[in-house]
Amino acid sequence: MTTIADVARYAGVSVATVSHVMNRTRHVEPETAERVRSAIAALRYNPNSLARSLRRGETKTIGLLVPDNANPFFASVARQIEDAGFVAGYTVILCNSDGSAEKEERYLQVLMAKQIDGLIFAGSSDHARVFSSLLPSVPAVLLDREIHSVNVDSVLVDHDHGGYLAGRYLVGLGHKKFGVIGGPRDSSSSPARLQGFVRALQEAGLDLPASSVVDSDYHFVGGRVAMEQLMAQAPGITALFACNDLMAMGALTVLRGRGLRVPDEMSIVGFDDIPYAVTTWPPLTTIAQPVEKIGTRAVSLLMQRLGGPEAPSRREILAPALVERESCAPARK
């Protein structure tokens, strides 16, 4: 195996000079630097990048902690983060917390032990103690979550506005009785989506009774269970807002099993615009989150934080958008 000493002998320079050329740690005369680079190419020298990184106090790794990578939304975001990190010269270590504070704490300890350079964190909002205990030991970016007790960069989606778009759209179709399948109350996203939805109804002089809201878990099976409960306690609804697409799909199977036609007898709006939203029947109208921007902006903020001086934390809020498909129709007179 070729060593740095072999390169130095081939180029007729010292080992220290080869190191300075590779690491750009000191000025080397252009002619000498070119001889070193030619020697590296001729000998096909492949330096130990891990050792070099450790000498610099970096590992070129990013930790990414999400609630559930089986959720297509987080899978898509994770892929965007991995791709953007790769372009920047970083690899990504992915961890799933399943919304458990214990798992979050354990994984964060593991990531710190691996000496990650930075962290992108999409943990639960009520687990701030776990997260804040590690700061400021590593630069971090909050992803699609708000933890008000910590002062770090964050990339968020305007969930309130997304819920408002869903409510305004269904009201515009003439619906007056609504049901909502919400996500976990301990997340920051689901309450904000519900809040925006209610605001749109109130602007139209309509209300949303407590019996017309059922909380669930952002999973397909949770959507099924919630839809069964909703139909039992809120009969007569003609429009449903599910706070993510997976729950909307679960609800859709319940309606189909009961022989109810969508959208003729029930209109449905989801949230996220996961890839499967176009494969349901009918294709799902939904509120699209800007997945690519979420991932790339999170990496960009982290890179700026890693490479720059101390600066005030930044909070970027991205806008969702209504995607009309075939799961909604005007209310029947």
**Phi, psi (rounded to 5 degrees) for 219:** -110, 160
What does the pLDDT look like over 283-320, one tens digit per residue? 999 999 999 999 999 999 999 888 766 778 889 999 99
Mean pLDDT of 226-244: 96
Condensed to tens digits (0 to 9), the pLDDT of residues 66-87 reads 988 899 999 999 999 999 999 8
Per-residue confidence (pLDDT) for residue 132, from 0 to 100: 64
pLDDT band with cut points at 50, 70 and 90 for residue 258? very high
- DSSP sequence for 137-192: SS-EEEES---TTS--EEEEE-HHHHHHHHHHHHHHTT---EEEEE--TTSSHHHH
Dump pLDDT digits (tens) for 99-154.
787 888 888 888 888 889 999 998 765 555 666 665 556 888 998 877 766 778 99
The pLDDT of residue 85: 92
Model pLDDT for residues 22-32, shown as the tens digit of each residue: 777 778 888 89
Residue that wins the pLDDT comparison between 48 and 19: 19
Lowest mean pLDDT among 34-38, 102-106, 325-329: 102-106
Distance CA(318)–CA(294), nearest Å, equals 8
pLDDT per position as a tens digit, 182-200: 998 878 889 999 999 999 9
pLDDT of residue 41: 83
Q: Which domains does the chain have, with CATH numbers?
A: 4-47 (1.10.260.40), 61-157+291-318 (3.40.50.2300), 159-289 (3.40.50.2300)
Name the more confident of 37 and 327.
Answer: 327
- The answer to whether residues 290 and 130 touch, using CB atoms and an 8 Å cutoff, is no
141 in Cβ contact with 300 (< 8 Å): no
Q: Whole-number mean pLDDT of the chain?
A: 89
Between CA 234 and CA 231 the distance in angstroms is 5
Residue 313: helix, strand or coil by DSSP? coil
Amino acid identity for residue 111 in this structure: L
pLDDT attached to residue 185? 82
Single out the residue of 242, 303, 305 nearest to residue 277, CA to CA: 242
Length of the chain: 333
Rounded Cα distance between 104 and 98, Å, is 8
Stretch 44-54: mean pLDDT = 60
At residue 22, the pLDDT reads 77
Cross-sheet strand order for the sheet of 239-242: 213-215, 178-182, 239-242, 267-272, 285-288, 321-323
Most confident of 35-49, 111-125, 141-155, 259-273: 259-273
What CA–CA distance (Å, rounded) separates 68 from 98? Answer: 5
User: Residue 253's pLDDT is what?
Assistant: 97
pLDDT of residue 122: 86
pLDDT (0 to 100) of residue 333: 75
CB neighbour class for 11 (10 Å; exposed up to 12, middle 13-18, buried from 19)? buried
Q: Could you tell me the CA-to-CA distances from 148 to 64, 66, 162, 265 in Å, in that order? A: 20, 18, 21, 42
pLDDT at 106: 86
Taking residues 39-54, report their average pLDDT.
68
